[in-house]
Chain A
Amino acid sequence: MATQEHAHPHSYKQYFTTWCWLLGMTLLALGLGYLHLPGGIKAFLLVGITLAKIFLIGSIFMHLKTERVNLVMLTFTPLILSIILFAFTAGESREGVPSHKLENVSPAFVMPTGPHEAGAEAKPEEKAEEKK
């Protein structure tokens, strides 16, 4: 019982410190949101703050700090691989050339923007079905 009472306040104190850090970084991120910085710098700082918060939550709240390296690797490897995978899609979105790729996509994949366009898209599909 004595060890429990000793163990409690210690870990609670660590959780409280973590909570304070998380709160501070949230307010910092909010302040960054109001600032009119160039898009790239703002994104870089926000990603940095977010990763720092994730690191704190993961290591202290989710106890990854005390888990085996195996489990830590298991949690982060798929996410890092997915980021690499997603990075390859960046070339498909050309900045300043809006929806230039969408022209080559079948109409079925393009979200209808209004009743007029939705009707126009429905017609070719009907014709295709008639031919069959």
Chain B
Amino acid sequence: MESTSLAEQQRILASDWGGGKSPFGTSWSKFMMWIFIISDALTFAGFLIAYGFMRKVAPAWPNQMEDVFSPVLITFMTFVLISSSAVMAMAVSAAKAHDPKTAVRYIAMTIFGGAIFLACQVYEWAHFIGEGATLTKNPWGVPQFSASFFVITGFHGFHVLSGLTILAIVALRAAMGKYSADSVENAGLYWHFVDVVWVFVFAFYYLL
């Protein structure tokens, strides 16, 4: 009696913690994508903490939301990115259900959303630079303000651009028939991660 319960316990333990040949229960490519996402998340965590640190140490800080940026534009950008993320999740579902045509259509919609987001960001940067902001100085007096803006949104924007490239490659390959549900899912994971980073930037950089 006791031995069966022990075996049962071991089976339960093994199902969640067991090593075996596949301790994480994923394909190697998905696992690597997760490792990449974690390290990239730590990079952005470093940026955001550095920003918080600079803001606390700085003698003054401009009221970003009311005096500098347009909250309506930022909220629209967030809306576009969240929507593209939801559509990407649908693309992954379609890919898993062996429906490449639908998957390609949804990936194309995701790319469209990402392109709108990037266009908004280009507009915002152009506007900000037009007002006299550079990496080392800005009209609002605190040099760290524009420095952190350009570094954080610049890194995020570059991630969006990379994501669009990855999605375009995956969509092209799927359209050519070189299609695998794994590649769509991995590209989707990356795209959701870009969305996650923006949610943080939206809250801590623009609203706080």
Q: Please, could you name 8 A-B residue pairs with CB atoms under 8 Å apart, sorted by A? A: A15-B90, A15-B93, A22-B86, A54-B196, A58-B192, A78-B41, A79-B45, A83-B45
Contact among A23, A34, A75, A93 with B38 in the assembled complex (CB-CB below 8 Å)? A75
Q: Are B86 and A33 in contact (CB under 8 A)?
A: no
Q: Chain A: how many interface residues by the 8 Å CB criterion? A: 57
Q: Which residues of the partner chain A approach B206 to less than 8 Å between Cβ atoms?
A: 33
Contact among A32, A94, A98, A114 with B207 in the assembled complex (CB-CB below 8 Å)? A32
The answer to whether residues A69 and B16 also contact, given A15-B89, A29-B202, A57-B195 and a CB cut-off of 8 A, is: yes
Q: Are A99 and B25 in contact (CB under 8 A)?
A: no
Q: How far does the alpha carbon of A67 sit from the alpha carbon of B203 in the complex, in Å?
A: 28
Interface, chain B (partner A; CB < 8 A): 16-17, 23-26, 31, 34, 37-38, 41-42, 45-46, 49, 53, 56-59, 65, 71, 75, 78-79, 82-83, 85-86, 88-90, 93-94, 97-99, 136-137, 143-144, 147, 185, 188-189, 192-193, 195-196, 199-200, 202-204, 206-208
8 Å CB interface, A7-52 against B: 7-8, 11-12, 15-16, 18-19, 22-23, 26-27, 29-30, 32-34, 42-43, 46-47, 49-50
Interface of B is mostly: helix
Q: Are A70 and B25 in contact (CB under 8 A)?
A: yes
* Number of interchain pairs (Cβ within 8 Å): 145
Q: How far does the alpha carbon of A95 sit from the alpha carbon of B58 in the complex, in Å?
A: 9
The answer to whether residues A78 and B42 also contact, given A4-B99, A112-B136 and a CB cut-off of 8 A, is: yes
Q: Which residues of the partner chain A approach B25 to less than 8 Å between Cβ atoms?
A: 67-68, 70-71
